[in-house]
Amino acid sequence: MSFLPRLPLPWTSLTICSKSPRSRVAKGRKMSFHYNAIGSIRSPFREKFGVPRQSLMMDEARAIVKLNPDPGYALALSELEQFSHIWIIFDFHKNGNGRWHPLIDTPRVEAGQRMGVFATRSPHRPNALGMSAVKLERIDLDAPGGIEIHLNGVDLLDGTPVLDIKPYVPYADCIPEANSGWIKTEIEKFSVGFAVECLQMIDEQAKREHPRLKLLIEQMLELDPRPTSQRRATPISDPASEGLRFAFRVMGLDVHWEIRKGTIFVFKVLLLE
């Protein structure tokens, strides 16, 4: 906006460009940007395979953003707790050799049908930037060793460097009319069963680790946490998968499960250490 005589306050010009915007951007200009982590994630997920891709469907998946010491961060978090959800902007620090791939073998589409990396949320992008909307539980300004932001519904790996935190703003971020492109919106959930002695083990461990440990295990299993290649080669609903066995470790337990008639059955639970 240009100043007009009657304008009593400082004002800034707003110019809306005309005809040929192209000339203003140097062709192929390479610009480089440098950011420092403000903190990092502490999460139950240590390996990228098996991390739920449907973070918000796993409301037992909790994590913490542990902020680095900085005299300004406590103030910078003022009023953030008013929001129910926040964005975590992070670096995909475990995307292998750091190279990016133009085409990606994505989960939940036909084998051989690869997607452009910009049409996916894959870590193997030109800039390994990730973003994830999560539920904000609470902020602990006085936690020993640094501020902690407690999150829920998290798909972030333990140790993930955090670059930014922003409030989730429904009017800008929630677009109900957006389509889902190639992404299947109906997520198949499988039924999960437990042997009686397994339930007892989990119940015991829940007292020490996490009150809703059984629910967390169920939420992890019902989405079939195996990598894409496995899910494609041996779908749970396929009779040929009958009896296939797997195991994962969660909160001090080694959980063994097998595929039984299109469902997931936990047949053995061992206490680690």
Site for a second copy in 33-62 (CB under 8 A): 33-38, 40, 42-51, 54-56
Considering only residues 215-234, where is the footprint of a second copy by CB under 8 A?
225-227, 229-230, 233-234
CA distance 44 to 155: 9
CA–CA–CA angle 173, 225, 263 (5° rounding): 120
CB of 193 to a second copy, least distance (A): 18
CB of 144 to a second copy, least distance (A): 8
Considering only residues 153-172, where is the footprint of a second copy by CB under 8 A?
158-159, 161, 163-172
CA distance 133 to 136: 9
Contact 126, 98 (CB under 8 A): no
Judged by CB under 8 A, the residue of 59, 66, 195, 260 near a second copy is 66
Q: Does 239 bind a second copy (CB under 8 A)?
A: no
Contact 132, 88 (CB under 8 A): yes
Residue number with CB closer to a second copy (19 or 142)? 19
Residue number with CB closer to a second copy (191 or 272)? 272
Q: Does 97 bind a second copy (CB under 8 A)?
A: no
The two tokens of residue 144 are 């020993």
Q: Does 120 bind a second copy (CB under 8 A)?
A: yes
Which residues are 130's β-sheet partners? 90
Contact 108, 54 (CB under 8 A): no
The two tokens of residue 142 are 């006085």
CB of 196 to a second copy, least distance (A): 21
